[in-house]
Protein backbone atom coordinates (compact mmCIF):
# COMPACT_ATOMS: atom_id res chain seq x y z
CA UNK A 1 0.00 0.00 0.00
CA UNK A 2 2.66 2.47 1.11
CA UNK A 3 4.76 1.56 -1.90
CA UNK A 4 1.74 2.25 -4.10
CA UNK A 5 1.28 5.66 -2.48
CA UNK A 6 4.86 6.62 -3.19
CA UNK A 7 4.30 5.88 -6.87
CA UNK A 8 2.62 8.49 -9.10
CA UNK A 9 -0.71 6.65 -8.66
CA UNK A 10 -2.48 9.14 -6.44
CA UNK A 11 -0.97 12.15 -8.24
CA UNK A 12 -2.52 10.76 -11.44
CA UNK A 13 -5.86 10.14 -9.74
CA UNK A 14 -5.98 13.72 -8.44
CA UNK A 15 -4.86 15.17 -11.79
CA UNK A 16 -7.42 13.06 -13.66
CA UNK A 17 -10.10 14.36 -11.32
CA UNK A 18 -9.14 18.00 -11.78
CA UNK A 19 -8.70 17.66 -15.56
CA UNK A 20 -12.00 15.79 -15.88
CA UNK A 21 -13.77 18.61 -14.06
CA UNK A 22 -11.95 21.30 -16.08
CA UNK A 23 -13.09 19.64 -19.30
CA UNK A 24 -16.66 19.26 -18.11
CA UNK A 25 -17.40 22.60 -16.44
CA UNK A 26 -16.51 24.38 -19.68
CA UNK A 27 -19.84 22.97 -20.88
CA UNK A 28 -21.60 25.00 -18.18
CA UNK A 29 -20.57 28.11 -20.15
CA UNK A 30 -22.88 26.91 -22.95
CA UNK A 31 -25.78 28.73 -21.29
CA UNK A 32 -29.20 27.90 -22.70
CA UNK A 33 -30.30 30.69 -25.11
CA UNK A 34 -33.72 32.25 -24.44
CA UNK A 35 -36.73 32.40 -26.78
CA UNK A 36 -35.31 29.87 -29.25
CA UNK A 37 -38.90 29.08 -30.19
CA UNK A 38 -39.59 32.55 -31.60
CA UNK A 39 -36.18 33.08 -33.17
CA UNK A 40 -35.87 29.64 -34.73
CA UNK A 41 -33.04 27.12 -34.60
CA UNK A 42 -30.54 29.08 -36.68
CA UNK A 43 -30.91 32.58 -35.23
CA UNK A 44 -32.08 31.48 -31.79
CA UNK A 45 -29.59 28.67 -31.13
CA UNK A 46 -26.90 27.99 -33.71
CA UNK A 47 -25.64 31.53 -34.42
CA UNK A 48 -25.40 32.64 -30.76
CA UNK A 49 -23.86 29.29 -29.72
CA UNK A 50 -21.36 28.85 -32.57
CA UNK A 51 -18.50 30.93 -31.06
CA UNK A 52 -19.07 29.26 -27.68
CA UNK A 53 -19.09 25.79 -29.25
CA UNK A 54 -15.97 26.47 -31.33
CA UNK A 55 -14.00 27.81 -28.36
CA UNK A 56 -15.25 24.90 -26.23
CA UNK A 57 -14.17 22.34 -28.85
CA UNK A 58 -10.78 24.08 -29.18
CA UNK A 59 -10.21 24.06 -25.40
CA UNK A 60 -11.47 20.48 -25.08
CA UNK A 61 -8.84 19.45 -27.65
CA UNK A 62 -6.08 21.38 -25.86
CA UNK A 63 -6.98 19.91 -22.45
CA UNK A 64 -7.31 16.41 -23.94
CA UNK A 65 -3.84 16.74 -25.52
CA UNK A 66 -2.46 17.88 -22.16
CA UNK A 67 -4.11 14.88 -20.46
CA UNK A 68 -2.67 12.45 -23.03
CA UNK A 69 0.75 14.09 -22.57
CA UNK A 70 0.33 13.89 -18.80
CA UNK A 71 -0.65 10.22 -19.13
CA UNK A 72 2.49 9.53 -21.21
CA UNK A 73 4.76 11.62 -18.97
CA UNK A 74 3.59 10.04 -15.70
CA UNK A 75 4.14 6.58 -17.18
CA UNK A 76 7.86 7.50 -17.11
CA UNK A 77 7.82 8.82 -13.53
CA UNK A 78 8.80 6.34 -10.85
CA UNK A 79 8.33 8.41 -7.69
CA UNK A 80 6.04 11.32 -6.84
CA UNK A 81 8.71 13.59 -5.35
CA UNK A 82 7.80 16.84 -3.59
CA UNK A 83 8.98 18.79 -6.65
CA UNK A 84 6.85 16.75 -9.05
CA UNK A 85 3.80 17.11 -6.77
CA UNK A 86 4.15 20.89 -6.76
CA UNK A 87 5.08 21.21 -10.44
CA UNK A 88 1.87 19.25 -11.06
CA UNK A 89 -0.21 21.47 -8.75
CA UNK A 90 1.25 24.49 -10.54
CA UNK A 91 0.16 22.99 -13.89
CA UNK A 92 -3.34 22.27 -12.56
CA UNK A 93 -3.68 25.85 -11.29
CA UNK A 94 -3.13 27.35 -14.75
CA UNK A 95 -5.22 24.66 -16.44
CA UNK A 96 -8.05 25.43 -14.02
CA UNK A 97 -8.25 28.93 -15.56
CA UNK A 98 -8.84 27.51 -19.07
CA UNK A 99 -12.64 27.26 -18.60
CA UNK A 100 -12.76 30.95 -17.61
CA UNK A 101 -10.62 32.03 -20.59
CA UNK A 102 -12.71 29.79 -22.86
CA UNK A 103 -15.98 31.26 -21.64
CA UNK A 104 -14.62 34.78 -22.01
CA UNK A 105 -13.54 34.04 -25.60
CA UNK A 106 -16.87 32.40 -26.42
CA UNK A 107 -18.74 35.45 -25.11
CA UNK A 108 -16.53 37.98 -26.93
CA UNK A 109 -15.44 36.38 -30.25
CA UNK A 110 -14.55 39.80 -31.74
CA UNK A 111 -12.67 41.22 -28.73
CA UNK A 112 -8.84 41.21 -28.96
CA UNK A 113 -8.67 41.19 -25.14
CA UNK A 114 -10.41 37.79 -25.13
CA UNK A 115 -7.77 36.31 -27.44
CA UNK A 116 -5.00 37.86 -25.34
CA UNK A 117 -6.43 36.39 -22.11
CA UNK A 118 -6.91 32.98 -23.77
CA UNK A 119 -3.36 33.04 -25.14
CA UNK A 120 -1.96 34.06 -21.76
CA UNK A 121 -3.72 31.25 -19.86
CA UNK A 122 -2.68 28.64 -22.44
CA UNK A 123 0.90 29.97 -22.47
CA UNK A 124 1.03 29.68 -18.67
CA UNK A 125 -0.43 26.15 -18.80
CA UNK A 126 1.98 25.04 -21.54
CA UNK A 127 4.86 26.64 -19.63
CA UNK A 128 3.90 24.84 -16.41
CA UNK A 129 3.70 21.58 -18.36
CA UNK A 130 7.15 22.22 -19.86
CA UNK A 131 8.56 22.74 -16.36
CA UNK A 132 6.93 19.52 -15.11
CA UNK A 133 8.23 17.57 -18.11
CA UNK A 134 11.69 19.04 -17.73
CA UNK A 135 11.84 18.04 -14.07
CA UNK A 136 10.34 14.58 -14.69
CA UNK A 137 12.85 14.02 -17.49
CA UNK A 138 15.69 14.34 -14.96
CA UNK A 139 14.32 11.17 -13.32
CA UNK A 140 14.61 9.20 -16.54
CA UNK A 141 18.23 10.08 -17.17
CA UNK A 142 19.38 6.47 -16.69
CA UNK A 143 17.35 5.38 -19.74
CA UNK A 144 18.96 6.88 -22.88
CA UNK A 145 15.91 6.03 -24.98
CA UNK A 146 13.61 7.83 -22.54
CA UNK A 147 15.94 10.85 -22.48
CA UNK A 148 15.77 11.03 -26.27
CA UNK A 149 11.97 11.10 -26.09
CA UNK A 150 11.96 13.75 -23.36
CA UNK A 151 14.37 16.00 -25.27
CA UNK A 152 12.25 15.71 -28.43
CA UNK A 153 8.96 16.51 -26.61
CA UNK A 154 10.55 19.22 -24.44
CA UNK A 155 11.46 21.15 -27.58
CA UNK A 156 7.86 21.06 -28.78
CA UNK A 157 6.57 22.03 -25.33
CA UNK A 158 8.80 25.08 -25.22
CA UNK A 159 7.87 26.06 -28.78
CA UNK A 160 4.17 25.76 -27.96
CA UNK A 161 4.61 27.90 -24.86
CA UNK A 162 6.38 30.64 -26.82
CA UNK A 163 3.77 30.57 -29.61
CA UNK A 164 0.90 30.91 -27.12
CA UNK A 165 2.77 33.79 -25.47
CA UNK A 166 3.20 35.41 -28.92
CA UNK A 167 -0.58 35.15 -29.43
CA UNK A 168 -1.09 37.65 -26.59
CA UNK A 169 0.38 40.76 -28.30
CA UNK A 170 -0.59 39.48 -31.77
CA UNK A 171 -4.27 39.55 -30.72
CA UNK A 172 -4.07 43.36 -30.84
CA UNK A 173 -2.53 43.26 -34.33
CA UNK A 174 -5.09 40.80 -35.68
CA UNK A 175 -7.25 38.24 -33.89
CA UNK A 176 -6.75 35.99 -36.91
CA UNK A 177 -3.02 35.76 -36.12
CA UNK A 178 -3.94 34.47 -32.65
CA UNK A 179 -6.54 32.10 -34.11
CA UNK A 180 -3.90 30.75 -36.50
CA UNK A 181 -1.63 30.01 -33.51
CA UNK A 182 -4.45 28.42 -31.49
CA UNK A 183 -5.20 26.12 -34.44
CA UNK A 184 -1.57 25.41 -35.34
CA UNK A 185 -0.38 24.25 -31.91
CA UNK A 186 -2.77 21.30 -31.48
CA UNK A 187 -1.90 20.23 -35.02
CA UNK A 188 1.81 20.55 -34.20
CA UNK A 189 1.44 18.68 -30.91
CA UNK A 190 -0.76 15.96 -32.24
CA UNK A 191 1.90 13.66 -33.58
CA UNK A 192 4.65 14.27 -30.98
CA UNK A 193 2.10 13.52 -28.28
CA UNK A 194 2.28 9.96 -29.46
CA UNK A 195 6.02 9.77 -29.88
CA UNK A 196 6.07 9.84 -26.08
CA UNK A 197 3.69 7.01 -25.16
CA UNK A 198 4.49 5.08 -28.33
CA UNK A 199 8.17 4.90 -27.48
CA UNK A 200 7.38 4.30 -23.85
CA UNK A 201 4.95 1.54 -24.81
CA UNK A 202 7.65 0.10 -27.02
CA UNK A 203 9.95 -0.82 -24.14
Q: Using the rule CB under 8 A, is 131 a contact of a copy of itself?
A: no
Would you list the DSSP string of 163-202? Answer: HHHHHHHHHHH-HHHHHHHHHHHHHHHHHHHHHHHHHHHH
Q: Does residue 144 touch a copy of itself according to CB under 8 A?
A: no
Taken in order 76, 80, 81, 84, the sign of the CA dihedral is: positive
Under the binding rule (CB under 8 A), the answer on residue 192 touching a copy of itself is no
**86-115 binders of a copy of itself (CB under 8 A):** 86, 89, 92-93, 96-97, 99-100, 103-104, 107-108, 110-111, 113-114
Q: Which of positions 33-52 make contact with a copy of itself (CB under 8 A)?
A: 36-37, 40-41, 44-45
Please, is 189 exposed, middle or buried when counting C-beta atoms within 10 Å of its C-beta (0-12, 13-18, 19+)? Answer: buried
Closer residue to a copy of itself, CB minimum distance, 122 or 193: 193
Q: Measured from the CB atom, is 18 or 180 closer to a copy of itself?
A: 18
Write down the least CB distance from residue 123 to a copy of itself, Å. Answer: 16
Map the footprint of a copy of itself across residues 59-78, applying CB under 8 A: 60, 64, 67-68, 71, 74-76, 78
CA–CA distances in Å: residue 17 to residues 24, 66, 74: 11, 14, 15
Amino acid sequence: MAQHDLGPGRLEAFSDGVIAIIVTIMVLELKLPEHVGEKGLVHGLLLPLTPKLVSYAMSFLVVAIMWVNHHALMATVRRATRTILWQNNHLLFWMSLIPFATGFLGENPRLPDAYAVYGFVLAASAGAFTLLRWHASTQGRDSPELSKVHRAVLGKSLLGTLLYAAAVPLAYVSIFASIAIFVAIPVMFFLPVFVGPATVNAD
